[in-house]
Amino acid sequence: MLIHNTEKTGAPKRAARALVAATGCATMVATIGATAGAGVAQAATTSTVPLVVYSAQGYDSTETTAFQKATGIPVELDDNSTGPLLTKIEAEKNNPKWGLLWVDGATAFASLDQQGLLMKGFEPNVSWNPLGQKAVPPDHSYIPTGLTMAGTLVYNSKTVSNPPTTWQALLGPKWNGEIGMNDPAVSGPTYPFVAGMMQHLGSVTAGEKYYTALANNGLHVYLTNGDTLAALEAGLIKLALIQSSAGIGATIKTHGVIKVKFLNPVAALPSAIGIDAKAPKAEQLEAEKFAEFVLSAQGQKLMQSGDPTGDSLYWPVVKGVNALPALPKLSTIPVENINPYTWGARENVVNTWFTNNVVE
Amino acid sequence: MAQALPAALPEELGRPTPAVRPWSVVAGALSRSGGNFFIWAVLIFLVAFPVGAFLLLAFTPRLFGQGASWFTLSAFSQALQGKAFVALWNSIWVSFAVCALDIVIGGGVAWLSMRTNIGGRRIWPGFMWGLLLVPSYLIAQGWQYLLEPKGVTYQLGLYSPLLYHSFFSPAGVVFVDALVNAPFSYLTISAALGGLGSQYEEAVRVHGGGRLATFRVVAPVLAPAVLASIAIVFAETMSDYGVASTLAFQSRFQMATYGIFESISQLPANFGVAAVLSILLLAAAAIPIGIQSRVTRGRSYAILSGRTRPATRYRLGRPARLALTSIAALFFLLALGAPAFGAFLGSFVQNLGVPDGAQHLTLNAYKEVFSGSIAYGHVVQEGATGLLAPVLLSAELSAITATLTAVIGLAIARLLAARRPGKWTKAGDLLLVGSIALPGIVLGAGYIFAFNLPFTSRVGLDLYETLPLLVMGYLATSIPTQSRIMVGQVAQVHGSLMEAARVHGARALSAWRSAYVPVVSRVLVLAWLITFTKTFFELPISQLLYPPGKETVSVAINSWLSNYHYDIGTAMTVIALLANFLVIALVLGAFRLLAPEGWRRMGGWRPVG
Amino acid sequence: MTSSPIRGERVDIAGATKLFGAKAALAGVHLHVEPGTFLVLLGPSGSGKTTLLRCLAGIERLSEGTVSIGGQLVAGGGLHLPPERRRLAMVFQDYALWPHMTALKNVMFPLRQLRVGTNEARRRAQEMLQRVGLGRLGERYPNELSGGEQQRVALARALVGGAGLVLFDEPLSNLDADMREQLRLAISTLARDSGATSVYITHDQAEAFALADRIGVLRDGRLVQLGSPEDLYRQPASPFVARFTGICTETPVTPASDPDGSAGRGAGALDVRLPGIAGATTRATMPRAVPSGVALQMFVRPSAVQIVQSAEAQVMARVRDVAFAGRGYEHALEADGQLLFTRVFSLQRWPRGSTVGVQLAPDGCLVLPVDPALEGVVDGDGTGGTGKALVPGGTDLVDLTGLGNK
């Protein structure tokens, strides 16, 4: 806008005036924006409330656009990484603005639930498959929408012909300095992997021992799935322990050069929808409608097509929907389910330990 | 020659005015301290209030619903165990190392281009500005692309593990941070050098002093500028998260900003610990400020007068000139070339580094960005608008932010440039530099605490998740840095220029416009451009404050990158950069074409002579 | 000369006080300037003259007191008209030419503020430049002009708009000696030709005498004397004024008829005894009546000292130094190892070390009380000052007389 002003200014003498004018315009735009924003909020209370969706899913805009079209409910989508979304929700505790949260990781939802931030007791009108039944929390504080795996082994088949087959094998000298994973303190989908390992090995201490050994074997820690995957693609590491959807997506993109392997066991990482306990009733009802829409046949189709080399690569939790063909059969995967409430409560302690002992 | 009569009627002389109208007292008080009052109000509202809200959480978590107690010190005990001190110490020593390196780089470029006959002396300052316009993570990323195994040097057969490993180390962190912040050092030092004249150097030489003696004499004269450069570079390095989270993190080198980020990212978020760490960061940033105000106390920066003669240049010998020119050229080639190269390469090469022969240059990513069908080639996303909407939105927000920053920043710089700064000015300066030292996420979270209050919502004033609040957040990050940069230049403009205009009949605004703005027009244009670019690519505040449904460029790019679509993400980055360069070219071109000749003669980055 | 002379404005300042924190830069100044007068405010640095000028201009705001220009109140009682509404013009010490404008544009500025059309403004600005001798340099930028040329542009800018009051803030202090003289002449003639009232501040007594119709002497924020240059020279109100307007020596004296000085004195001629010089007395002038019991000091103007034949001499003195001064010689004389007379003029050169006779002209020997409490204001209605202790003679004496008193 300022650029136009400067361009159109005819007489050189007027340049100063243009600057002043531009300032004025800027202030005006800001003011108009403020009033407009307030106007929308006000109008909303009288008719339909806009549903504010905080989501980190790759298919979220596909889904919200279709939902808005189907129901006429206006959706405001905050499409962001999981981290900033959770930060916002935590910082908004005083005066929540979000209506619905859609991210990966039951532990995150369990933690929000324990803080009393989630609306409990909503049971969507869907028929769960066995996977779904297992993922639904007892207090119905969040709604699972799909399943991926945390800590999936991803490797480059051109450089690794004999990938390790057990978790113990990763501690061997062969993989010294060749393994990378994400920092659970930053990457939401990584904590379930760490927690799953602890549950698998029987205790937090046993798990800590394992990760210490992994660190001693030259483990590289990156921020997120994307960074770890990039390190693998760049040849900085040979094995990456990341979320299954990212790994399988890479398989598709590289036409099978990058491969995934599920060591025994891998921790289940459900994606889920949580509804703001403090949202206006009308918005909560719309959020419920949205959850049901997502789990409907139409919604599932959109979830599977919205991000075909990323988040769409999930195992469905409702009956009658099959996973995309790129995904291996669920029965071949040794899935470990962790109790999100037990482990969600330990998240900070474990992550702090991880930061101080593995990252450093 | 009819002139407007003053509104107030003259009272009879010798008799004290009996009844003073209340409005005239109010108006008088406002116009007396009006400017300053307004500036402080803006600063308090934009910076002090949200930052203070965040820092308060170190003691009173209950204030913003973050805990049960009204007062506790538990956040302190939590924060001060573990690696907090190591991280803080790392941040401090890296920042000091960066300051030292940048005095050499920034001061060196300033001196060489202003005081010697080095080749290309007209373009090096421009390149310095260029460096300022490149986002910091691109510099880190570019070097990474260059040096990593299977990276560019590897493909050229030049891969060196030693170089790679020394890059992924504290040394690499210092190096990249120094490149990122060198322009700040250059700007502050060159501003002082430009007004210095060569009389001091000549005085040394006529009294028989050699080059070393000259340096010894001139260095203290430049001390205020050097200290100013240290203050800003130190704060900027302390607050950097881009390098801390990538290069430093992967080198297992923890820095303070990362600790803050981590505490905030916890679930439940531990804002208390982040606040404690922020307080420590602020305290650290006060060190160079303290030194600066101690050393420069009572000294005036105003060294530019009508009598200052243009400085003479050292004539370098042929070999020295050739050597220094090559060094400068090499420096800028590396500093600017590496990130540019990295960004372009990353966007063109599909699946960079996959050794299956499938590596090839492709324009697919660009096609997808422009076509709007950006769901990785397969399905056209409904409602996806490509990059255009975020680019336009970011351009508009950045232009607004840059304009307001230039105006408010100039006003603040004028206050800071006062010869005898008062208590309030000093406090304001501390607030400014302190806020530079805080990472964006602290400001972003502080904005949520401060501007998402239940009672304002009840009266229907919801600023949070609106564009105005996002602009305010941008202003809070840009005003401190820009006003600090402008101080050096503004301090050289004598106040009598404005007074002369008022005395000769110009009203306040008209005097400001006709007698002051033109003199600092170059500085203003540059502040505008820097702010535009920095805002265009700003991520942490955008992420926390952008209104849902109105993605900024940085949020969009980050979204693609975090969903593993690197090619699209990088292509967007390149397009955003190009759009950005286009704006810079347009603004500079417009200034050159449209500004009166006199304006373009005014100070700024062009070396003297 | 097409622009007709304008009427100068009357300036009235009453009780002007300006506080910077606890420090008073102006402590209740009362001053009236008749229309068309060229007033010079003379004072050392820190005397408040700059503050007074800036308050008059409206750049600074008075803490107390009132200012009227042309009978119209511009400051005081909660009112503070900004500079642009006071219809004045000003020449600054550092020129304050806008560096982004050519000389011509700088001079056109005040006219443009008065809504004079561009062509007319250009014509008048060009004419004004011509009058200050810069007719051909209008298209130059300030940094392409010498200091003297810049200040001429500033003078042209101040006079072009026909303001009724023109302020000068030490306009010559940044210039070289030869430039000063030329520009002083230009200011003196052009400002008077314009008909405007001029208020000019300086710390240079010679400059003040050369320019002023009236001189106001400021000290510690107070106006200590206001009068014509002749008044100040012949009847200084205080030792401070006497010293600041040029003396060649000063010495404590006692009345010849009343050695203990117990009786009060009326103004007029008075014989005094010069202590330290055995038996020496001289006739001096007492500008003002003095109460009894105060110590007296005699201040001698350089013009009052004459080298004479020893027969006519009141005091014998030895020649310490002699300096060639063009039309004659200036001598430094020492009487009895006590009294040093500087700048004693003679057409003849008296060799160093020789002894000469000295005669003092009574009207140039001014006897004043040294009690600071008695340093009141003359020709102003302010209260007497209680200034700080007087600066001791010594170096001051040499410095001040060195200012030139031709």
Chain C and chain A touch, per 3+ beta carbon pairs within 8 A: no
In terms of domains, do A200 and A252 share one?
A: yes
CATH code for position A111: 3.40.190.10
C236 within domain boundaries: no
In terms of domains, do C15 and C144 share one?
A: yes
In terms of domains, do C306 and C269 share one?
A: yes
Whether the CA torsion C241, C243, C249, C252 is positive or negative: it is: positive
Determine contact, residues B233/B287, Cβ cutoff 8 Å.
Answer: no
* Mean pLDDT, rounded, for C142-159: 90
Residue A78 phi/psi, 5° resolution? Answer: -100, 95
In terms of domains, do A243 and A173 share one?
A: yes
% of chain C exceeding 90 in pLDDT: 49
What distance in Å separates residue B490's CA from the closest CA in chain C? 14
Suggest the residue from C4, C18, C72, C79 to mutate for an interface test with chain B (most B CBs closer than 10 A): C79
Whether residue B597 is predicted with pLDDT greater than 80 in this model: the reply is no
In terms of domains, do A261 and A353 share one?
A: yes
Whether the CA torsion C382, C386, C391, C393 is positive or negative: it is: positive
Query: Does the predicted interface ipTM exceed a cut of 0.85?
Result: no
In terms of domains, do C224 and C312 share one?
A: no
Whether residue B106 is predicted with pLDDT greater than 80 in this model: the reply is yes
Q: Chain C contacts of B302, Cβ < 8 Å?
A: none
Judged by a CB distance cut-off of 8 A, whether residue A347 touches chain B is: yes
* Mean pLDDT, rounded, for B525-534: 88
% of chain B exceeding 70 in pLDDT: 76
Judged by a CB distance cut-off of 8 A, whether residue B83 touches chain A is: yes
Number of domains in chain A: 3
Judged by a CB distance cut-off of 8 A, whether residue B25 touches chain C is: yes
Angstrom CA distances, C354 to C318, C320, C321, C349, stand at: 6, 8, 10, 11
Query: Could you tell me the pTM of the whole model?
Result: 0.77
Domain that holds residue C360: 246-400
C253 within domain boundaries: yes
Whether residue B302 is predicted with pLDDT greater than 60 in this model: the reply is no
**Which is nearest to B534 in space by CA: B484, B574, B477?**
B477
**What is the strand order of the sheet A220-222 is part of?**
A220-222, A179-182, A239-242, A152-156, A258-261
DSSP output for B54-96: HHHTTT-GGGGTS-S-SS--HHHHHHTSTTHHHHHHHHHHHHH
| C259 vs C85 pLDDT, higher one | C85
How would residue B355 be classed by pLDDT, with cut points 50, 70 and 90? very low
Across all residues in chain C, what is the average pLDDT? 84
Q: Which pLDDT does position B383 carry in this prediction? A: 38
Q: Which pLDDT does position C282 carry in this prediction? A: 86
Whether residue B22 is predicted with pLDDT greater than 60 in this model: the reply is no
- Which residue is listed with tokens 């959109």? A302
% of chain A exceeding 90 in pLDDT: 64
Whether the CA torsion C252, C256, C258, C263 is positive or negative: it is: negative
The CATH architecture that domain B393-609 belongs to is: Orthogonal Bundle (1.10)
**Which is nearest to B485 in space by CA: B438, B435, B523, B430?**
B523
**Looking at chain C, which residue has its C-alpha nearest residue B2?**
C114
- Asked whether the bond before A265 is cis by omega within 30 degrees of 0, the reply is yes
In terms of domains, do C380 and C275 share one?
A: yes
A257 within domain boundaries: yes
Q: Chain A contacts of B399, Cβ < 8 Å?
A: 1-3, 22, 26
A294 within domain boundaries: yes
Q: Chain C contacts of B24, Cβ < 8 Å?
A: 78-79
A349 within domain boundaries: yes
C1 within domain boundaries: no
DSSP output for B477-497: HHHHHHHHHHHHHHTTS-THH
In terms of domains, do A106 and A68 share one?
A: yes
Which range has the worst mean pLDDT, A192-196, A292-296, B191-195, B296-300?
Answer: B296-300
- Which residue is listed with tokens 């996303």? B381
Which range has the worst mean pLDDT, A41-50, A77-86, B314-323, B544-553?
Answer: A41-50
Q: Chain C contacts of B27, Cβ < 8 Å?
A: none
| B342 vs C7 pLDDT, higher one | C7
Which chains share 3+ C-beta pairs under 8 angstroms with A? Answer: B
What distance in Å separates residue B389's CA from the closest CA in chain C? 40
Q: Where are the domains of chain B?
A: 86-257+288-297+318-353, 393-609
C3 within domain boundaries: no
% of chain B exceeding 90 in pLDDT: 14
**CB within 8 Å of chain C, chain B residues 480-499:** 494, 496-497, 499
Amino acid at C396: D
Q: How far apart are CA A108 and CA C226, in angstroms?
A: 85
In terms of domains, do C264 and C226 share one?
A: no
Domain that holds residue A24: 2-45
**Looking at chain C, which residue has its C-alpha nearest residue B304?**
C94
Q: How far apart are CA C8 and CA C166, in angstroms?
A: 9
In terms of domains, do C215 and C352 share one?
A: no
Whether residue B311 is predicted with pLDDT greater than 70 in this model: the reply is no
In terms of domains, do C142 and C176 share one?
A: yes
* Mean pLDDT, rounded, for B560-589: 79
In terms of domains, do C60 and C132 share one?
A: yes
CATH number of B86-257+288-297+318-353: 1.10.3720.10
* Mean pLDDT, rounded, for B117-123: 82
Q: Which pLDDT does position B320 carry in this prediction? A: 86
Q: Which pLDDT does position B189 carry in this prediction? A: 83
Among B4, B504, B511, the residue with its CB nearest the CB of C89 is: B504
CATH code for position C25: 3.40.50.300
Judged by a CB distance cut-off of 8 A, whether residue A346 touches chain B is: no
Judged by a CB distance cut-off of 8 A, whether residue C165 touches chain B is: no
Judged by a CB distance cut-off of 8 A, whether residue C84 touches chain B is: yes
Q: How far apart are CA A259 and CA A155, in angstroms?
A: 5
pLDDT tens profile B45-87: 999 999 998 998 888 877 777 777 777 777 787 777 767 788 8
pLDDT tens profile B158-186: 777 888 888 888 999 999 899 989 988 98
Length of chain C: 406
In terms of domains, do A90 and A200 share one?
A: no
Q: Chain A contacts of B394, Cβ < 8 Å?
A: none
What distance in Å separates residue B497's CA from the closest CA in chain C? 5
In terms of domains, do A229 and A283 share one?
A: no
Judged by a CB distance cut-off of 8 A, whether residue C162 touches chain B is: yes
In terms of domains, do A288 and A351 share one?
A: no
Q: Which pLDDT does position C278 carry in this prediction? A: 63
In terms of domains, do C51 and C170 share one?
A: yes
Q: Which pLDDT does position B292 carry in this prediction? A: 72
In terms of domains, do C280 and C335 share one?
A: yes
Q: Which pLDDT does position B297 carry in this prediction? A: 58
What distance in Å separates residue B112's CA from the closest CA in chain A? 34
C240 within domain boundaries: no
pLDDT tens profile C304-330: 999 998 888 888 899 999 999 888 999
Would you give the end-to-end CA distance of chain C in angstroms? 34
Q: B592-596, C166-170, C392-396 — which one is most confidently predicted on average?
A: C166-170
A253 within domain boundaries: yes
- Which residue is listed with tokens 């999936």? A152
In terms of domains, do C219 and C337 share one?
A: no
Boundary (domain end) residue, out of C199, C231, C263: C231
Whether residue A329 is predicted with pLDDT greater than 80 in this model: the reply is yes
Query: For residue C137, what are its two tokens?
Result: 């340099």
Determine contact, residues B162/B83, Cβ cutoff 8 Å.
Answer: no
Whether residue A45 is predicted with pLDDT greater than 50 in this model: the reply is no
Judged by a CB distance cut-off of 8 A, whether residue C90 touches chain B is: yes
Alpha helices in B197-309 (DSSP H): 199-206, 211-239, 242-243, 249-250, 256-265, 271-295
Q: Chain A contacts of B462, Cβ < 8 Å?
A: 37-38, 41, 97
In terms of domains, do A135 and A177 share one?
A: no
Boundary (domain end) residue, out of C197, C231, C265: C231
C4 within domain boundaries: no
pLDDT tens profile C179-199: 888 899 999 999 999 999 999
DSSP-assigned letter for residue B44: I
In terms of domains, do C350 and C217 share one?
A: no
In terms of domains, do A349 and A201 share one?
A: yes
Q: Do C87 and B3 touch (CB under 8 A)?
A: yes
In terms of domains, do A276 and A140 share one?
A: yes
How would residue B35 be classed by pLDDT, with cut points 50, 70 and 90? low
Judged by a CB distance cut-off of 8 A, whether residue B428 touches chain A is: no
Q: Do B460 and A94 touch (CB under 8 A)?
A: no
In terms of domains, do A177 and A245 share one?
A: yes
In terms of domains, do A59 and A208 share one?
A: no
pLDDT tens profile A21-30: 444 444 444 4
Whether residue A52 is predicted with pLDDT greater than 50 in this model: the reply is yes
